[in-house]
Amino acid sequence: MTNYFYIIGCKGHAKSIASALKYNCFKEEIAVKMIDAYQSNSEGDLSQELNNSIKEGIKFIIGIGSNKKRQEIFEKLKLQNINYSSVIHPTAIVDKTASIGKGSFIGAGSYVGPDVKIGEHCIINTYAIVEHDSTIESFTHIGPNATCCGYTHVQKLCFVGASATISNNLTLGLGCTLGTGAVMIKDHIEPADSTFVGVPAKKI
């Protein structure tokens, strides 16, 4: 029996999700399709194709790299009865005690450790590491090769850039960005939506 999986989005991140699903095809037959969330009109109406797919009970994931755009589409669709599902690349290591929220993507070669909590619609990108007892809140993106050490707390709508590191027991605040290669050695909680770069990471 073929399982149908629709990705809302058609660009780079959607392609990564499609690739992960195709690698999973050795376990079960999966038909993958990428679809646009909106028509090209100015009102941003939902496309008829998307509406029809929702009615059929097909599995969905929002395949858009931008945290805010991913949340925007989720809010646009939240009154619909959508069957969101997480996608885990078969080369990722996810501890049995970790929890993964609906609509989240765990990329190739990544590691999610014991008692980690990943929220909904998150991205744990290629070779990213989320160590034990950490919490990654919803609509957050942990970039390629980034490391969140044990007991870290990354709040909602954060972006942790490629190869960035958050040291143990630290918190990155709501909507904040930790730049590429930055090393965070103290809490950066306020103000929200701030950007931190460098070694050690400082606000810009």
Q: Torsions phi, psi of 176, nearest 5?
A: -80, 160
**CA 200 to CA 204: how far, in whole Å?**
12
Which of the two residues, 113 and 43, has the higher pLDDT score? 113
Cα-Cα-Cα-Cα torsion 72, 77, 82, 86, nearest 10 degrees, comes to: 0
- Tokens 């765990």 label which residue? 106
46-58 residue pLDDT tens: 566 666 666 666 8
Tokens of 181: 């290669």
| Domains along the sequence of the chain with CATH | 3-84 (3.40.50), 87-189 (2.160.10.10)
% of residues, the chain, pLDDT over 90: 69
Tokens of 191: 């103000």
113-132 residue pLDDT tens: 999 999 999 999 999 999 99
What is the reported pTM?
0.90
Nearest to 70 by CA among 62, 82, 59, 61: 62
Position 43 confidence tier, pLDDT thresholds 50, 70, 90: very low
Tokens of 117: 């909590």
CA distances from 8 to 15, 49, 78 (A): 11, 11, 14
150-189 residue pLDDT tens: 999 999 999 999 999 999 999 999 999 999 999 999 999 9
Per-chain mean pLDDT for the chain: 89
